[in-house]
Amino acid sequence: MPKVKTNSSAKKRFKVTGTGEITYQKSFKRHILTKKSKKRKRDLAKKGLVGPANKDFVQRLLRLK
């Protein structure tokens, strides 16, 4: 039997915390930052948490389920 592979794009985008939550980096923080407010850029720098609607799907991509 071949090994079951983890989705390579998913393992680069998501990280599992110690408590089992899945975090990701928020989008829209790469360029054209001059028109965005300081508050918006500060909030985009924080890690995002995968919501309950998508958690099962992401876990399947990462072979956690």
Enter the pTM of the model: 0.82
- 63: tokens are 């072979």
At residue 2, the pLDDT reads 87
At residue 9, the pLDDT reads 95
At residue 3, the pLDDT reads 84
Sign of the CA dihedral running 3, 1, 59, 65: negative
> Per-residue pLDDT for the chain (65 aa), expressed as one digit of tens each?
888 888 999 999 999 999 999 999 999 999 999 999 999 999 999 999 999 999 999 999 999 98
Which domains are seen in the chain, by residue range? 8-61 (4.10.410.60)
Largest CA distance in the chain: 53
